[in-house]
Structure 1
Amino acid sequence: MLRSLEIRDMLLIDRLALDFGPGLNVLTGETGAGKSILLDCLGFVLGWRGRAELVRAGAAQGEVTAVFDLPAGHPARGVLEEAGLAAEDELILRRVNAADGRKTAYVNDRRTTGEVLRALSDTLVELHGQQDDRGLLDPRGHRAMLDAFSGVATEGVRRAWAALGQARRALAEAEAGLAALRAEEDYLRHAVAELDRLDPQPGEEAELDTRRRRMQAGVRIREDIARAFQALGPDGAEGLLADASRWLDGAAAKAEGLLDEPLAALARAITELGEAAQGVEGALERLAHDPREMERVEERLFAIRGLARKHGVLPDDLGAFAGDLRARLAALDGGARDIAGLRAAVDRTAGDYAQAAASLSAARRKASGALDRAIAAELAPLKMERAVFRTEVTDTEAGPEGTETVAFTVATNPGAPAGPLNRIASGGELSRFLLALKVCLARGGDALTMIFDEIDRGVGGATADAVGRRLERLSEGAQILVVTHSPQVAARGRHHFRVEKRVTGGTTTSTVTALSPAARVDELARMISGETVTEAARAAAEDLLAG
């Protein structure tokens, strides 16, 4: 509910503070007094696009503040949460317009954007008038209005549509993936066969490289080791030492002990030489290899490295790469089965959607007749009993909201062609159609503040009284603001405000005054009789208030 509106230096308003209440709030005043200015200022603080020049002449800036009550569960709380703003029981919207055109918006004293204000306004205020293109006249909202009128549940259709979309996307992705696999099937089968034949193991490339380097090194040093072994053997040092030992041993008997120590040292040398020769011989044996083994090692090493280069992976990753290729082959081989299952899922979810959509369509078509009858019942007291209202439900492309579109059409006279509300009805007729629609569509406890801008234009007498009674009924459990020239409508208000234009010191300003019961009588009498208020007009005004 809109609790208060404060305006400073906007258009013809200098300073103005208004407190609104629940139920029907009426604003009256002479033509040109500034009633539309209030709506312009309210639209400004709600972020609506309106007049470009709003700041009062001579002022540095204009400012509008609107305070709303925000009960628990109000849709505005979701908008605030999405915008990162705290939601409280009181919502304060403030917007400043500088003289140079710059605009600054605040929500609960936190700076925000015009987009956030507009999103909030959709949950706070609903404007109805003869240019009601944002409300009941917009055909894009007629389907939702019919659903709200009938109370039909649409969540099942939305869920079924979402499930169908998910199934279709899964099928499309699977088909695209299978097509891609089929395009590389030859490569996959050749690559997997090649990798399976080689069967590379993690760490194998490093092991083969070590063995190859050892064998290459053995080829280079074995010749020197073999020559050294030959030099140590019987044809070399071993033979020479044996000859020396034999010769000295033969002379030792006559040397009287002079050769004992040399012979002992020579014996030790022969022993050490034997150990050295044995070690060299062992080294030769260990370095011995089959040339064909080295060839086999090199071939496998080069094969592993070549395959790694070919596929752009590390040699140790060839095994995992082969596993990936095998998985893709398995997906290719099992793709047809998967596709069949996904197609079955699409068919199943399509059937579920068709069933839910058909049920919703039947409910809408039934509700359309009920709405037409309800509107007809409302039009008769509004002196439009000859008009025909039709809710047209037509088939359209399937979507999350079902398989039909809804449009409200009217024929204002018997035999006349039906058409959209805003093209067929005149200004006064359109106002009454909109009121009848809103009365039928309202469910009470509406979270929106409804504003009717001169919706009674072009009607009077009993018709105006019928308009007022319907606005009064519509305001039960809700808040309505009505800008009106009709005393019959104004008399139904719970709260009455008079808009006046004053000229003081050559400056024109608009003021708004909350009327007391006595002042209401005077205002209604003025609306009845014009500039000169008569006692008869006062009596008529009192009758209206009493009625």
Structure 2
Amino acid sequence: MLCLLRIENFALVDRLELEFGAGLNVLTGETGAGKSIILDAIDAVLGGKVSSRVIRTGTSRTLVEATFASNDALAGWLSEQEIDLIDDTSVVICREISATASNIRSRSRVNGVLVNRQVMNGLREKLVEITAQGQSVQVGQSSQVREWLDVYGGDSQIQQRHAVVSAFAAYHQTHQALEQRRTLDRERLQQLDLLTYQVQELSGANLSEPDELEQLQQERDRLTHVVDLQQASYKIYQHLYQSESDSPTATDLLGDSEGELLDIVEYDSYLEPLLDLIRDAQMAVNEVARQINTYGENLEADPQRLEEVEERIRELKQIIRKYGPTLTDAIAHFNRTQAELAALTDSEQSIENLEKQEKACLKKLNQACEKLTELRRKAGKQLESQIIRELKPLAMEKVQFQVQIIAIPPTSTGADKITFMFSPNPGELLQPLSETASGGEMSRFLLALKACFSQIDAPGTMIFDEIDVGVSGRVAQSIADKLHQISSQQQVLCVTHQPLIAAMADKHFRVSKETINQDKGKKEHNGQGEERTVVRVTALDNQSKRRDELAQLAGGKSAQDAIAFADSLLVQADNHRKGKKGSKK
């Protein structure tokens, strides 16, 4: 229940504080007095869309604060959002709006905690529902009608709709995978040709060692320079071990050095360890001489092998140019291509498996949709009966109403297109409500619809914005009775021009506009400040004030007949409320 509303610098409101009560709260006033501004402020504080126009001219900041009474369900939800109650009974929602030259900024807090739009949307659903005649557009939207019917159907219907959402997600995922595989399969032949050619080419190249090219290049260099290598190895052998000239070899010099060192050691044994080093050097030189001599003797010119090596080098370089830039990259490409070819070769089996999965998922989706449709048809029949019962007291005794459910392909919301069908007069065919109902009939239908929802899980406050447009007389009295009936179960805020409805109020407010002189510190020459228009709201807390307002609504405050009519309305409303309470007992 909305207990308190504080508004600062919102549109034409400079500063306003309203205390609402339980039951039926009515806002009246002349056309253009600013009644809608109060509802706009409530919508804004609960996260509704705003523009810079809501900021009062001459100010830079707007503030709207609403205090709601809490309950166990609301307290539990706030606890899930990690928001504490202020005093275990209240929820205070505050929205601050400011504008700059380029954009508009808005911040919302719940009990002092900064919250985002998602949290505000969730909280709004639990606190307030606003109904206006303009909702006739929503009545014509299958998605909104479907939402209403599912909520009316209760928890079992909502849970089944969640099951449909899950089943549709599984089907959609499998269907997408199948379509992707089919797309791949359409390109499969072309890819198979390309990959088969590449695998054959790379397989024929016998790629195995990443450094094969370097090894072949070394072998080619060796085969190309056999004579030079033989000559060089023979020279080394001569220098080390056996010279054809009279010059001593390295072996000879080491032998002479060993002899000289032996003579020295006879006189100084300190140098004896050097003998071992010289002898090791002699052995190393002899081994090098032996190996280099063997290397030179084994070198042979092999033109055929040289041609094979050069041919292999040309082949590897061709592979590298196509699949490189290195032989390692070419080998990696070969491995990937083999895997891709294997996957493509198995694509027909994969498509068959995916088709089976899609068929199974579609079957589950259809079953879930069929069960949801069954629940919707059952809820639709109940809603039809209840709507007709609610409309009959609203001077629509012969009305026909039907929840039309037509099968459509399965979606995430089910397999139903739902339309409210309506015929207000006997003998007329049922037609879509949004195309058939007049303004007054639409007002009464929306009121009846909300009356149905007020008996299930509805928010604590219901707001009706000129729901009585297009009606008068007996119909207006019926609407008043229906609003009072709803207000016995939850708080109702109603903007109305009908004195019959206003008379039924438990709490009555008059909205008006005033022109004031606002002193900004810069007085005009005549000593007066700047003139501004402001909205004022007055609580009509005594019978005399209410009588005057009802007379004004009925036809003018100066007319004695209007005053008498207002008095009779108040007496009638009081007796009617007492009679309703007595009948409940």
Once the two structures are superposed, the pairs formed by residues 190-229 of structure 1 within 5 Å of their partners are: 190-205=197-212, 206-216=214-224, 218-226=226-234
Counterparts of 1:301 and 1:420 in 2: how far apart (Å)?
82
* DSSP 3-state at the match of 1:380: helix
Q: From the superposition, tell whether residues 61 and 323 of structure 1 become closer, same or farther in structure 2 (CA, over 3 Å).
A: closer
Counterparts of 1:380 and 1:515 in 2: how far apart (Å)?
32
What is residue 15 of structure 2 aligned with on the other side?
15
Deviations 1:378-425 (A, max 9, x none): 111111012222222223333111222111122121122433334422
* DSSP 3-state at the match of 2:135: coil
* DSSP 3-state at the match of 2:394: coil
What is residue 260 of structure 1 aligned with on the other side?
none
The answer to whether 1:513 aligns with 2:538 is yes
The answer to whether 1:184 aligns with 2:184 is no
Q: Please, what TM-score do these two structures have when normalized by structure 2?
A: 0.73
What is residue 65 of structure 2 aligned with on the other side?
66
Aligned length: 512
Q: From the superposition, tell whether residues 117 and 105 of structure 1 become closer, same or farther in structure 2 (CA, over 3 Å).
A: farther
Unaligned residue ranges in structure 1 (runs of 5+): 242-270
Counterparts of 1:357 and 1:157 in 2: how far apart (Å)?
6
Match of 2:536, as an amino acid?
Answer: T
1:340 Cα shift? 0.8
* DSSP 3-state at the match of 1:191: helix
CA contact (8 A) 1:68 1:91 kept: yes
What is residue 134 of structure 2 aligned with on the other side?
131
Counterparts of 1:332 and 1:275 in 2: how far apart (Å)?
60
What is residue 182 of structure 2 aligned with on the other side?
175
Counterparts of 1:512 and 1:134 in 2: how far apart (Å)?
31
Deviations 1:141-181 (A, max 9, x none): 00111122223221222222111111111111222223333
Match of 1:456, as an amino acid?
Answer: D
Deviations 1:261-302 (A, max 9, x none): xxxxxxxxxx99999975652241354464444443443343
* DSSP 3-state at the match of 2:144: helix
* DSSP 3-state at the match of 2:312: helix
* DSSP 3-state at the match of 1:15: strand
What is residue 341 of structure 1 aligned with on the other side?
353
Unaligned residue ranges in structure 2 (runs of 5+): 86-90, 250-282, 518-530, 580-585
Counterparts of 1:75 and 1:144 in 2: how far apart (Å)?
26
Match of 2:575, as an amino acid?
Answer: D
1:376 Cα shift? 0.9
Deviations 1:175-224 (A, max 9, x none): 22233332121222222223223332243323334444444455533234
Match of 2:346, as an amino acid?
Answer: G
Deviations 1:448-481 (A, max 9, x none): 7432112123445654443234334434554431
What is residue 410 of structure 2 aligned with on the other side?
398
CA contact (8 A) 1:202 1:317 kept: no
Q: From the superposition, tell whether residues 134 and 98 of structure 1 become closer, same or farther in structure 2 (CA, over 3 Å).
A: farther
Identity of aligned residues (%): 31
Moved more, 523-532 or 16-25: 523-532
Counterparts of 2:4 and 2:432 in 1: how far apart (Å)?
36
Counterparts of 1:523 and 1:196 in 2: how far apart (Å)?
102
Q: From the superposition, tell whether residues 54 and 329 of structure 1 become closer, same or farther in structure 2 (CA, over 3 Å).
A: closer
What is residue 333 of structure 2 aligned with on the other side?
321
Q: From the superposition, tell whether residues 233 and 34 of structure 1 become closer, same or farther in structure 2 (CA, over 3 Å).
A: closer
Counterparts of 1:75 and 1:123 in 2: how far apart (Å)?
11
CA contact (8 A) 1:392 1:409 kept: yes
Counterparts of 1:116 and 1:318 in 2: how far apart (Å)?
56
Moved more, 39-48 or 365-374: 39-48
What is residue 156 of structure 1 aligned with on the other side?
163
The answer to whether 1:466 aligns with 2:503 is no
Counterparts of 1:407 and 1:76 in 2: how far apart (Å)?
36
Once the two structures are superposed, the pairs formed by residues 452-463 of structure 1 within 5 Å of their partners are: 452-460=464-472, 463=475
Q: From the superposition, tell whether residues 183 and 21 of structure 1 become closer, same or farther in structure 2 (CA, over 3 Å).
A: farther
* DSSP 3-state at the match of 1:131: helix
CA contact (8 A) 1:521 1:541 kept: no
Q: Give the root-mean-square deviation of aligned CA atoms.
A: 4.3
Q: 2:317 aligns with which of 305, 308, 317?
A: 305
Q: Please, what TM-score do these two structures have when normalized by structure 1?
A: 0.78
Q: From the superposition, tell whether residues 183 and 513 of structure 1 become closer, same or farther in structure 2 (CA, over 3 Å).
A: same
Counterparts of 1:329 and 1:286 in 2: how far apart (Å)?
48
Deviations 1:488-520 (A, max 9, x none): 534554443232445667865432133436568
Q: From the superposition, tell whether residues 101 and 306 of structure 1 become closer, same or farther in structure 2 (CA, over 3 Å).
A: closer
CA contact (8 A) 2:510 2:549 kept: no
Counterparts of 1:453 and 1:232 in 2: how far apart (Å)?
115
Q: From the superposition, tell whether residues 102 and 175 of structure 1 become closer, same or farther in structure 2 (CA, over 3 Å).
A: closer
What is residue 421 of structure 2 aligned with on the other side?
409
